[in-house]
Every structure is written in structure tokens, then in C-alpha cells.
Structure 1
Amino acid sequence: MMGVAILCATSAVLVGGAISFVGLMAPNIGRRLVGQRMKYLLPASWVIGCAIMMLAQFIATNAFGKTALPVGLVVSAVTMPYFIYLLFVERFD
């Protein structure tokens, strides 16, 4: 079952790029912060997704001076620790 979840997430990121990865992570982070109620979860997911993308863009353009990194690389680096946490830690709760 875990392999199917990993395959689906990988396929979504492969097809859609970094924005689909943010789309997978923002609602999970929002659920941790505001709970299950959709009234609060949907706006929180929007704000968190925008914040992740803005943070990634800022890091990508300012990390190494005049050399800009790809935003997708930075998005993956910023959100990957939480994705790994969801895969391994939340699995046993």
C-alpha cells in the first residue's frame, strides 16, 4: 500500500512539476495547523501553498548571489522533510 502511495505521489510530481508537490503538501500541513474543518482548512492550504512557493522563489533567487537555482529543486528541498515525516512517522500512529 505504501508503495502505491509513493508511486502516485511520484507520478503527480513528474507530470505536474513542483506545484503538484506543493499541492500534496500544503493541505497536510494545514490539517496539522487548523484541523479537519474544511471552512478553515481550504484557506489555510492556500496560504501555506503560497508561502511555500514564495519562500522557494526567494531562496532560489538569493541563495547563491547571481546564480539562480531552479525553483522546483528548492521546493523539493523545503517540503521533502515533511513528506518523509508523513511517510514514516505518521504511518505508525
Structure 2
Amino acid sequence: MIDSDRGSGYTSAQFRHRTSEFGLRRSCGHTGSCFDNAATESFWALLKEEIGTRTWPDRATARAEGFSFIETFFGYLTPAETRQRHQHARAA
């Protein structure tokens, strides 16, 4: 899944073709709603702040560092467990 804004780069025929080649689904936020993608944007900002935007020696190292950050950030929980924890916290 690729979530993006409605910019011309993300809505172009070339982008649609390339994402289809990789079997990816596309989604776009609603026009004028800054809340559609707020959680994702917040996560990416935190990831960039924590591990930076440096160049790694190879793809495997970059993936390993990204994976390590994500696993630590979410406390080794599955997406379903993370959602359940969030819903429980909101109810409290």
C-alpha cells in the first residue's frame, strides 16, 4: 500500500503503471483534510529524526537499521497489538 497526497507525481499514469508493476495498491487522502495521513507523517518525521537521512554502505544495512528502529519504536508488537493498545489508551 502506498498512501500519498494528490500531487501530480502521485496521480500520473507513469506512477500508476510502476506501482501496478510491483503489485502495490495506491490510496490518496481526502482533499483539504490534513488528518488523513497525520499518524503516518508523524512516524516518518520521527524515523528521519532518529536514524537520519544519511547514506548507508548498502541496502541491507539500511534495511536492518530501519527494521531495528521500527521494532523498538512499536515495542515488538504486531500492528493489531499496537492498534489494540492505542484503542485501550483512548478509552481510558
Give TM-score scaled by structure 1 length: 0.32
**Larger fraction in helix:** 1
**Larger fraction in strand:** 2
More contact order relative to length (CA 8 Å, sep ≥ 6): 1
